[in-house]
Amino acid sequence: MKILLLLTGKTDKNWIQQGIDEYFQRISKYVHFEIITVALPKQYNSNNIPFNKIKSVEAEKQLKIIRTDDYVVALDEHGKSCKSKDFAKFIENRTLSGNKRVVFVIGGAYGLCKTIIERSDFQLSLSAMTFSHQIVRLLFMEQLYRAFTIIKNEPYHHE
């Protein structure tokens, strides 16, 4: 199985990028892991463009990367929340399911377009709180790493 983390927009905070790089190395020891970042055309960096139009353009770019046989997980505040052990079980089940690739999608500053939510096989919420899309990247990667350490019964997760 392969895991793809599909992001929108670059990470412009160095300390967040350092954390992402650290967890990327850790996760890659357990699974083929890839991160793809889609960029918006510069004209969409204006405050004059409606949020829905920006999300729609982001979705078009994301859908070009998502394959028909991918298992897609949308990270969305309205999704299902779970404990770390439950997330580990979810990852383990996806590994055993025969999916070639699981794609986790994190939207841009305005969240995910309805098109991505509808295409997803599962919607996951990391918290009832709102976080910036850059912080969510780091939080998700830590939880993905934690899931693999739980699956492998390694001493990282404590209860």
| pLDDT, mean of residues 3-16 | 94
Dist CA 157 CA 159 (whole Å): 7
Write out pLDDT tens, residues 117-153.
999 999 999 998 989 889 999 999 999 999 999 999 9
Q: In angstroms, what CA-CA distances link 128 with 80, 125, 131?
A: 10, 7, 9
pLDDT tens per residue across span 37-74: 998 767 666 677 888 888 899 999 999 999 999 999 99
Q: What is the pTM of this model?
A: 0.94
Residue 73 bridge partners (DSSP): 104, 122
